[in-house]
Structure 1
Amino acid sequence: MPPKRPRASKELHSSYELDHTDRRLLELLRDDARMTNQALSEALGVAPSTCLARMKALQQAGVIRRFTVDVNPRALGRGIEALISVRLRPGARQQMAAFGETLKKVPEVTQYFFVGGMDDFLIHVTARDTDHIRQFVLEHLSADPVVATTQTSLVFDHVAGPASL
């Protein structure tokens, strides 16, 4: 039985101690978040009740934030990806939150990051082709008065690395 761990809110203030079983459980879920509890417990060599308790503890501690699906953009006719760096105008810094909220509603945006450094946002988009990316930049970025500059980099390959466990 795993040692009792303190419950934490979704907003973590201290690190959560992972043991070997926790790490392996997270690896299995990262590879296939739809694995049944029975399959997970067999792969871990623990009882199903232990596996379920581990998963619940990881969720309550905020280590597991959500279960998700990995959608292949090519299967949806979006054969090209780009990363777009965006710098907002100095006088528009107070509108960063609103800019981010707007990005959430744009179908081409798969994810975005609010970053430090020279740029303010890094936006990951998927599109049909380069004309689609160009149209996205013109309509959703260049036309926005808070945007000062953009820089688009095409993604040749997108490989997810192992989560830092």
Structure 2
Amino acid sequence: MASGLRVGQQVPDFTLPGGVLAGDAFERGDYTLAEARGRSVVLAFYPGDDTPVCTKQLCSYSSGFETFEGLDAEVWGISPQGVDSHEAFARTHGLRMPLLADEGRGVAKAYGVSAPGIGVRRAIFLVGPDGVLRWKHVALFGATFQSLDTLAEQLSGIKVT
């Protein structure tokens, strides 16, 4: 069962449409988790673009972009909104990580974070360079988020086995 995804397990692969702000351009494309092998990936599931907590969370991660780069990690934001919404969100707040559109919530369901009413629970999955889940946090209510410092601490402990 997806909700039972445990640390130490291989994570489900996926491909989602998305985009990333690069200077003045918003570069759209497909993002496939398996293609990110060799680097750690922070999957940051969030309920919605331009909501107060989500904005604060993703701005925090974007301002810590160099910290993630220094730990050889990428951050992918994932929510049910479409790529057009993600582009507007990224442009408004200068977000520097890819934002992926899980409009049917298939990836959220595979990771056990789809939730009736809110759509997607706020959750973090740290995927090692080998595609194995190394750490996760799934919020019950979603009013807070995992800090950049917490993620950096968890990422610094990831070793390829």
Instruction: Tell me the TM-score normalised to structure 1 length.
Output: 0.25
Structure with greater strand share of residues: 2
Instruction: Tell me the TM-score normalised to structure 2 length.
Output: 0.26
Q: Which has the larger radius of gyration?
A: 1
Structure with greater helix share of residues: 1
